């Protein structure tokens, strides 16, 4: 592991977000996506987002994640060092036919959003028995 691997990466600011009714800066939350036999698991890092501060919506094929921080938690603070800006989070993904949209589950715990995207029955791998002729 090189020293560059240990450097903090700056938050990437969202530009041109369609939803402009909420003031303040929005950032892209870093996301890891894992695949198991039965589902896709999406883990988004959104520090500072309280319970009830996350919206997950699905419109057509677009899954949208929005996380809001409470600005009042940061009022009056005089930081000595800042590595990331305070703001909300916004990320959008296009889902394929492999995801069962009716069974998507979301859970927020300690600033980490866990989304479980179950695979549709057609997308699950299954073994087909080969019979000898």
Q: What is the pLDDT of residues 24-55, one digit of tens each?
A: 788 899 999 999 989 999 999 998 898 889 99
Return the closest-CA partner of residue 33 out of 123, 100, 101, 95. Answer: 95
Distance CA 13, CA 76 (A): 23
Does residue 132 lie within any of the structural domains?
A: no
Return the closest-CA partner of residue 90 out of 44, 27, 31, 25. Answer: 27
Polymer length in residues for the chain = 133
CATH code, domain with 90: 2.60.40.790
Does residue 38 lie within any of the structural domains?
A: yes
Does residue 84 lie within any of the structural domains?
A: yes
Q: What's the confidence (pLDDT) of residue 125?
A: 64
Does residue 92 lie within any of the structural domains?
A: yes
Does residue 126 lie within any of the structural domains?
A: no
Distance CA 32, CA 123 (A): 21
Q: What's the confidence (pLDDT) of residue 84?
A: 66
- Is the per-residue pLDDT at 6 higher than 60? no
Does residue 48 lie within any of the structural domains?
A: yes
Indicate the number of domains in the chain.
1
Does residue 129 lie within any of the structural domains?
A: no
Identify the domain containing residue 100 by its residue range. 31-121
Does residue 85 lie within any of the structural domains?
A: yes
Mean pLDDT within 115-129:
78
Q: Confidence band (pLDDT; 50, 70, 90) for 12?
A: low
Average pLDDT, the chain: 81
Q: What's the confidence (pLDDT) of residue 30?
A: 92
Q: What is the pLDDT of residues 72-102, one digit of tens each?
A: 766 777 778 766 667 889 999 998 888 899 9
Mean pLDDT within 48-67:
92
């Amino acid at each position: 592991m090189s020293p560059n691997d240990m450097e903090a990466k700056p938050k990437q600011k969202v530009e041109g977000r369609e939803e402009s009714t909420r003031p303040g800066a929005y950032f892209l939350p870093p996301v890891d996506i894992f695949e198991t036999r039965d589902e896709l698991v999406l883990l988004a890092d959104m520090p500072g987002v309280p319970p009830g501060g996350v919206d997950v919506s699905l419109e057509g094929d677009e899954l949208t994640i929005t996380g809001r921080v409470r600005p009042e938690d940061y009022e009056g603070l005089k930081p000595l060092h800042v590595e990331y800006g305070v703001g909300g989070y916004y990320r959008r993904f296009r889902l394929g036919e492999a995801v069962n949209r009716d069974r998507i589950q979301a859970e927020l715990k300690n600033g980490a959003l866990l989304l479980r995207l179950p695979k549709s029955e057609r997308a699950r791998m299954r073994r087909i028995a080969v019979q000898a002729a």
